[in-house]
Structure 1
Amino acid sequence: MNDAHILVIDDDVDVLHTARIVLKPQFSKVVVESNPQQINFLLSNQQFDVVLLDMNFTTGATNGQDGLTWLQKIREIKPDQQVVMMTAYGDIKLAVEAMKRGAADFIVKPWENEKFLATIQLAYEHGKSKEEIKTLKAQQSSIHQMLIASDDIVEGESEAMKQVLKQVQKVAGTDANVLILGENGTGKEEIAKLLHKNSLRNKGPFIKVDLGAITETLFESELFGHVKGAFTDAKEDRHGRFILSDGGTLFLDEIGNLSLAMQAKLLSVLQNKEVTPVGGSKPTKVNNRVIAATNSDIQKGIAEKAFREDLLYRLNTVTIVLPPLRERVEDIPALANHFLKSFNNKYGKYASFGAGVIDELKGYSWPGNIRELMHAIERAVIMSDADSLTMNDFLINQNNLANPLVDTVNLDDIEKNTIERAIKKYEGNISKAAKELGLGRTTIYRKMDKYGIKY
């Protein structure tokens, strides 16, 4: 039986009764309706895979105009709806006209049951194919845009990012599993996309799983799939992320959030390269490249028996560590201009950075990394009434703005700058500033006097 919903509309009760008897053994749900005026209500409240529509509803009518009119209304409500026309009058011209107006096929009454079922089955499969193609095109377009964006975000002039990109270049063309480490917002997902784009699997899917958002009860269903009836809400078979990413790349984000029980199940799949859906008994071979990412301290997790060491070995054939934005200050101008251009296009603005803004942004510590920079610029573009952005347009913690001397290599200047930032952070509370700096109150007062720092 196909898990498909069929709607039959005909003013002949006998036809409806026969259609239900013939269709019910092969399709999971069959709805019959004698009044075409109910079409709008039915299609607006239910999803039908195929609609069987009679061509004549007016008494004595044989020209099929009723059916063509209702076909047009159906197409207006749901342009992609599969509609099979029915008539007792085998008029080829009428059949051609119905097909021109979007009908999937044409059946002459009285029908032969086998031919009737075959026609409905073909319409059902055609509809599913169109949905899959539409979804695939949307995914490909999304992936294309996503991969273009990833290039802009990860490229940079800093030595730290140049080293990361060298690693990406070396490992991308292999099938080695990769573990990406880094703080939140450093661009771990963009690196994963870049690895996929430059791999031999780039024609296959890139599927992301946010493990931090999946509960333990849904873990197996999401990753391995389930069969119909496996649990209360399992109304149909569903492929998991491993099957969906077969032949491509599976990106497991926030891998450090997995419980030990979930880690054991994931390890088994990685070792055996096969998955068994929840409620199923037959394993399916999978062929994916796994890229994992986390902001957690995995080694600390292993030491505390919270993360399996054997799973780490399966995940980190190669480990890539992403630097925080504060360690790649040279890349901020390019990133900022990239986001500015993107949000100008998105919101129809023409904003530019005012004098000194980029230098100020370079002096900020960006605890939220690239993600914080992106959101700060998006908000500034949205909220500013002027075409030239100033620092007043950016909602950032002024305590995290560095002194211009931050780029110096003079030790006295660095120490002075650090003390000033600590005192400013705690709004002149010397005790708190001294505690953060690891200095005694007497020492910090002496250094304040040395550098002429007054508060």
Structure 2
Amino acid sequence: MKKSLLFVDDEIRLLRALSLSFRKKGYQITIAANGNEARKRIQENNVDVVFLDLNLPDVNGLELLEEFSSLYPQKIFIIMTAYGEVESAVSAMKAGAFDYIVKPAKLDEIELIINKAYNFIGMKLENINLKERLKHLEVGNGFISTSVEMKQIYELIERVSTTDATILLHGESGTGKSLIARMVHNLSERNLGPFIAVNCAAIPEQLLESELFGYEKGAFTGATASRRGKFEAAQNGTIFLDEIGEVPLSLQAKLLQAVQDKSFMRLGSNEVKQVDVRIISATNRNLKQMVQDGSFREDLYYRLNIVDMHIPPLRNRSEDIPFLIEEFLEKHREKMKRNYHVSAQLMKILIGYDWPGNVRELQNAVERAVVLCNGENLSIQDFPREIQGFRQTQPVSSTISTFDKSKTLPEQLEDMEKQLILNAIEENHGQIASAARELGVSRQRLFYKMNKYLEH
């Protein structure tokens, strides 16, 4: 389908020139010489981008923009204004214009803005498609995936949730093990009971036993009253033992009794207590190797590992990244009342990054980008340094790396420079200041280079 433009201006010669030039470039062109004609043309034709002059003979261009913006919110409006009327153009931007251009403008400058507008349209459509596809995904507690491995894990979760089988989750940090543990609990018959999570790595070794099993009054200095532990707190529910590989060997025998018999003794007591709990544990360590090394009890390992689930790292399921980003952005959109977007080119960079911190790192990176974003279009500069560094180490496009033997070295260097500038402008959604920062040059220098290359 052809890209469709509407030019609204009272200069007939300009309209004819624009119409002829852009029809030759493959665009579908509609023209209007005044406001009333523009109202008729925009109703009759399915145009995508409207170029609107502020000085029309029968209507105030700014008022017409406000009218069109409310009637046609999906269309892109670009203001054309004479030199010296930049203040009016700024007012127009506030009224809903996408951008403005100062007349007289070169055709290449106009086409650059058109490309920028269509990139934005494509980005909006991509986000709409993502939202539609998200509605049809199997989503649980914010855990989104389309990968085959994760769908197999979902099926396993559904099967084991109806049982009381002990589950061992293993995978790298940040892959979502705690989310899966909570999903199992929420889908089980114990969902009305408590879900008690214990990070075994965060509790000092000397305190872990009392945290898990509780203690009696006078069991140690400072124990002025009896206190129940996490196992008792999880009665009729689920206890989630995260970082189970950090439990010291000296405590593993008592933990084995709790896992095997659902019984234990409080610190300082000889009374055996029984509990009815479901036990889920998780680790990012190789417990089988720890068994061989003698740092983890073999009998405890097999008791914990009745049902084994390996959660794949995010780099092995990169197809999930756009959906996860969309989910995180949607939460920020609701909270900040701003319609954040990620361009296709930026999304490609984010998909290619290996995310050593997995889903947790991705979530934090998106939150940082939203905080630093200047407007609603996220830029690579809004993301952490390691992601920006990753982008800079990627090979440049084939259009840059391909050498033309018929050209001299200065000519080939100019081609490379031109391509890098165009890439930076596209990546930063036409924001010259951001593109200049990315390229490491001043705005004036970038404008000079743009004018130089647009003339050719």
Query: TM-score, normalized by length of structure 1?
Result: 0.54
* 5+ residue gaps, structure 2: 1-137, 397-456
Structure 2 counterpart of 1:378: 367
Q: Are the structure 2 counterparts of residues 293 and 404 from structure 1 closer, same or farther at C-alpha, using a change threshold of 3 Å? A: farther
Of the three residues 267, 275, 282, the one matched with 1:293 is: 282
RMSD: 2.1
**1:318-337 alignment runs, 5 A limit:** 318-337=307-326
Give the letter for the 1:194 counterpart: M
CA distance in 2, matches of 1:400, 1:162: 30
Structure 1 counterpart of 2:348: 359
Is residue 166 from structure 1 mapped to residue 158 from structure 2 by the alignment? no
Residues paired across the two proteins, number: 257
Structure 2 counterpart of 1:252: 241
By how many angstroms is 1:356 displaced? 2.3
CA distance in 2, matches of 1:291, 1:404: 44
Of the three residues 208, 213, 230, the one matched with 2:197 is: 208
By how many angstroms is 1:354 displaced? 3.0
By how many angstroms is 1:243 displaced? 0.3
What do residues 238-296 of structure 1 show as CA deviations (whole Å, max 9, x unaligned)? 11000000111000000011111111121122223112111222221101110000000
SS in 2 for 1:207: strand
**1:166-205 alignment runs, 5 A limit:** 166-205=155-194
**1:48-447 alignment runs, 5 A limit:** 151-347=140-336, 349-395=338-384, 396-398=386-388, 400-401=390-391
Give the letter for the 1:169 counterpart: E
SS in 2 for 1:250: strand
By how many angstroms is 1:233 displaced? 2.1
By how many angstroms is 1:166 displaced? 1.5
CA distance in 2, matches of 1:166, 1:363: 28
SS in 1 for 2:331: helix
Native 8 Å contact 1:344 1:350 kept in 2: yes
SS in 1 for 2:326: helix
By how many angstroms is 1:349 displaced? 4.2
CA distance in 1, matches of 2:336, 2:222: 40
CA distance in 1, matches of 2:225, 2:338: 46
Native 8 Å contact 1:255 1:292 kept in 2: yes
CA distance in 1, matches of 2:176, 2:187: 17
Native 8 Å contact 1:363 1:403 kept in 2: no
CA distance in 2, matches of 1:264, 1:360: 48
Native 8 Å contact 2:168 2:307 kept in 1: yes
SS in 2 for 1:252: strand
CA distance in 2, matches of 1:292, 1:263: 13
What do residues 49-79 of structure 1 show as CA deviations (whole Å, max 9, x unaligned)? xxxxxxxxxxxxxxxxxxxxxxxxxxxxxxx
Native 8 Å contact 2:175 2:313 kept in 1: yes
What do residues 396-415 of structure 1 show as CA deviations (whole Å, max 9, x unaligned)? 3345459699xxxxxxxxxx
By how many angstroms is 1:347 displaced? 4.6
CA distance in 2, matches of 1:404, 1:193: 41
Native 8 Å contact 2:381 2:388 kept in 1: no
SS in 1 for 2:211: helix
